[in-house]
Structure 1
């Protein structure tokens, strides 16, 4: 009588990797204790990238920051079901004297300007946090409010590096004085001579920057006989600035930069008065390649979407999945006390052209909203 095979069940490594990359970071950290092979796989750069790609495509979050107490701020993640799934972070490394510069590949860059000035890199999923080394021109709390500057943070696949950009501008004429860049790979700051534009100024100081395809983008203005609204871009790998014209929007001051289908995008919005009622209208412009008259491909703005009229004053803040996320004024939640404010967010679906209102039960109106994806990306520089 033949004996049954006693072979140990076996799964090929690619199948194991395919399963593991679909798990949330919390489970991944636990499963690193299963065996040495699993731990090595989950710490490998190729796996971190595959997990990030899957997380970005399948599980994107919105990161909200709010708070009115001078001692602290509050952060929460909003999941796919905006009505119920609000996950608040416990003890984020921030106070009311901090601001989020940007989120990139699961890393959050934080500027702190309380008693001393510094930056933090924080991975909320792994709970890793590290303080960035001192900048070339340190600022104390008083200097921070007397010095004018703009910030950016992002990742370049070409350079395989995360960088913080700090742009100092003159308080007299708002033109650029100097530019400092921090590299995570070298854990150091340097001053770069990258600015070569005259009569170009940054604007929308408190608006979050946008990072896509290895470049950081800000709103700008080129002034002269006729003022021209421009987008200022910074190539993270080459450490060079460039100017991009606005799309032909009606109201260039009422626009927000975002990312759509991994491309630079702009949402323009306008208020329309019809009788005694106020309506909003949204247009989505995307920077993408299209053929010119000679048949060659060139980058340009393409209008991808125009909304229906919405009977309220909307302010778009970002694009999430296939929807434009818009702020409206908060309202008191019925049955609660006056301090319990429910933030109302309107989502405009780009595919169906439908509006959906989400009532998020958080106490204070959000001050900042960012796109965020969980990742295993480490906050330390390569050894």
Structure 2
């Protein structure tokens, strides 16, 4: 008589789809059937769909190794709840370390895009790897993207990279935006996970990117801050915009900044993602730090001011300019609490809007440099084509 306790495969898959990634990786040892199920693309997609969104972020920072005084890149997947409670110890826990040449160029559905480069005499070469921190699986290097200095601007701040997902072809893609010297146009190149080549997708009118290199993935698009050149009565001026490239349709458009936001200031505005929304933070009038959220992607009227706090309240220097360079790392589900990283003071700052309180809750002086964050969800997504 068959064992009545055996469950149908469909019910097993249903139950396992709610289990965290770490446990599932251990469950692969139960049987060949379970191993095959857990890595099957259909199950991977179901598990990703049911994973808790907006509950984790991935923090990237630089660290000085005390043993050989070598700069290394550190990546730490974090629970937002734990990070808000104790940022310093949470960032240290579960941190992955790399040679400093590797830079994070994007995070999407649990996959992290790592970028490396080589500078030749007359060219710059870039290549990428896909990595899943939850499963600890990493792909081999992508085909190199070689840029000759006679044709392209090759410095790191000219080459803009981003990782995104095309839900039509169900493909993860790296998009790179380049500045063509001869044609004075911008060019978009794309590499799909598992391919052996780069494709030239489109060209557009030349414009100036801001310093931030990595693009932000949201709603099927990757986005960078840029300055668009405008002319009026033979007078040239520059307008702050968001250059948005659509992964699925292979098109681009410009999104406008929030009404009431000043033009480019110092430090430069920064684009990010908070709770799955496009986020824009900036210095305003050298007196305030302001954070905006685009509630409905692509709709400029949906920009909402999330935070407006004075440097005096934060007790930051204001002359000759704020020694600030702050960045929002994450916020609570109810949006009442936000964690900032203050580069000038090398400290985490916790802002409680409900109680109108601001607290320094731990520093990264002498150890952490330039921490910034990405939306992250632990997943089973493979960093190679299955």
Q: Name 2:77's counterpart in structure 1.
A: 77
Q: Name 1:210's counterpart in structure 2.
A: 216
Change (3 A) 1:352 1:203: same
Give the secondary structure class of the aligned counterpart of 1:148. Answer: coil
User: Out of 203, 221, 230, which is 1:195 matched to?
Assistant: 203
Query: Retained in 1: the 8 A contact 2:18–2:51?
Result: yes
Give the secondary structure class of the aligned counterpart of 2:382. Answer: coil
Give the secondary structure class of the aligned counterpart of 1:50. Answer: helix
Query: Retained in 2: the 8 A contact 1:99–1:111?
Result: yes
Please, which runs of 5 or more residues in structure 1 have no aligned partner?
Answer: 274-279, 291-297, 332-342
Query: Retained in 1: the 8 A contact 2:56–2:78?
Result: no
Query: Retained in 2: the 8 A contact 1:330–1:365?
Result: no
CA drift of 1:220 comes to 0.8
User: Out of 317, 334, 347, which is 1:344 matched to?
Assistant: 347
CA drift of 1:203 comes to 1.7
Give the secondary structure class of the aligned counterpart of 1:52. Answer: helix
User: Out of 19, 22, 27, which is 1:26 matched to?
Assistant: 22
Distance of 2:361 and 2:43 partners within structure 1: 35
CA drift of 1:118 comes to 2.1
Q: Name 1:286's counterpart in structure 2.
A: 294
How high is the TM-score relative to the length of structure 2?
0.75
How high is the TM-score relative to the length of structure 1?
0.76
CA drift of 1:105 comes to 1.2
Change (3 A) 1:7 1:118: closer
1:87 partnered with 2:93: yes
Query: Retained in 2: the 8 A contact 1:132–1:187?
Result: no
Please, which runs of 5 or more residues in structure 2 have no aligned partner?
Answer: 120-124, 231-235, 317-323
Across the two proteins, how many residue pairs are aligned to each other? Answer: 346
Q: Name 1:265's counterpart in structure 2.
A: 279
Q: Cα deviations across residues 44-68 of structure 1 (Å, max 9, x unaligned)? A: 3233233334444264133222124
Q: Cα deviations across residues 78-131 of structure 1 (Å, max 9, x unaligned)? A: 3332313332435x4x31222111111111111112577421111122121123
Distance of 1:243 and 1:49 partners within structure 2: 31
Distance of 1:11 and 1:357 partners within structure 2: 52
Query: Retained in 1: the 8 A contact 2:54–2:276?
Result: no
Report which stretch shifted further, 143-152 or 62-71: 143-152
Query: Retained in 2: the 8 A contact 1:103–1:370?
Result: no
Q: Name 1:132's counterpart in structure 2.
A: 141
Query: Retained in 2: the 8 A contact 1:269–1:316?
Result: no
CA drift of 1:236 comes to 0.8
1:161 partnered with 2:162: no
RMSD over equivalenced CA pairs, Å: 3.6
Q: Cα deviations across residues 23-74 of structure 1 (Å, max 9, x unaligned)? A: 3322211101113343233223233233334444264133222124446333
Give the secondary structure class of the aligned counterpart of 2:26. Answer: helix
Distance of 2:269 and 2:156 partners within structure 1: 28
